[in-house]
Amino acid sequence: MEKQETRDGTSKVRAYRRHAPESQPSSLYEPYRATLRRAPLKPLVVLPHTLSEITGPVFGRETVSEGDHDLTRQHTGEPLGERIIVSGRLLDDHGRPVPHTLIEIWQANAGGRYRHDRDNHPAPLDPNFSGAGRTLTDKNGAYQFVTIKPGAYPWQNHENSWRPAHIHFSIFGPAFATRLVTQMYFPGDPLFAFDPIFQSIPDEKARQRLIARFDLQTTKPEWALGYQFDIVLRGREATPFEA
Ligand SMILES: [Fe+2]
């Protein structure tokens, strides 16, 4: 981290370590058609970190209510689908826990349908599932969500294109420079090889960091399957952004 007090009481800014380039999605990846329209045409300009990147935005406890982490209890009935528990730790680039920071998720329902005006996939909406939740990490950087496993869904990228099942994650971390928006996948998905969003990350090891691990320890008997998904903000081992 990245802000140090000096002897005269002033703050000295140290830059966060940068990502390994191959561990992040390519801004231009032809199989992912949207990147053809939005990729920068000129080389990026690398800016040094300044104080503004290590101050805010910081979201406080008042934005999260008890129960916001449980997407299966937001309506009068239970959503359809396979109940799951997603747990993990939020770590910085030195492996230290990142406590008391906001994690938000959103996802499709078990049929692969988002509750969104622009989702016209002909799969049913679930009246008992909205698909969004949030929580704060505890003092050890740990978090947990209860939800249902999202379904795969088709998209318009190419002929017969389907997204692997995934949960979107948004994390603020302690500073603007630690902001992360990404997607968590499920182990063994047959769609990985055909998904240009997943494949747009050149480094195979970095891609694997987006796949949760099935975990019998957090699986609750007669209730829900457990998955572990640790997230690293910044540095060489950072969890990749979504493309
Ligand atoms: Fe999605």
Tens of pLDDT along 174-232? 888 888 999 999 999 999 999 999 999 999 999 999 999 999 999 999 999 999 999 99
Q: DSSP class of residue 79?
A: P
Q: What is the mean pLDDT of residues 49-75?
A: 81
Question: How far does residue 9's CA lie from ligand 1's centre (Å)?
Answer: 46
DSSP string across 85-142:
EEEEEEE-TTS-B--S-EEEEE---TTS--SSTT---SS---TT---EEEEE--TTSE
Taking alpha carbons only, the member of 166, 165, 83 closest to residue 128 is 83
- Residue 212 is predicted with a pLDDT of 98
Alpha carbon distance 228, 109 (integer Å): 20
Taking alpha carbons only, the member of 96, 92, 61, 87 closest to residue 175 is 92
Please return the burial class of 132, using the count of CB atoms within 10 Å of its CB with bins 0-12, 13-18 and 19+. Answer: middle
Q: DSSP class of residue 28?
A: -
pLDDT at 8 over 80: no
Question: How far does residue 224's CA lie from ligand 1's centre (Å)?
Answer: 22
DSSP lists the bridge partners of residue 171 as: 103, 180
Question: How far does residue 47's CA lie from ligand 1's centre (Å)?
Answer: 31
Alpha carbon distance 119, 132 (integer Å): 15
Phi, psi of 61 (to 5 degrees): -60, -25
Whether the CB-CB separation of 93 and 239 falls below 8 Å is answered with no
Catalogue the active-site residues: 114, 153, 163, 166, 168
pLDDT tens track for 95-149 = 999 999 999 999 999 999 999 988 889 999 999 999 999 999 999 999 999 999 9
Question: How far does residue 167's CA lie from ligand 1's centre (Å)?
Answer: 7
Question: How far does residue 106's CA lie from ligand 1's centre (Å)?
Answer: 8
- Summary mean pLDDT of the chain: 90
Question: How far does residue 4's CA lie from ligand 1's centre (Å)?
Answer: 39
DSSP lists the bridge partners of residue 185 as: 166, 211
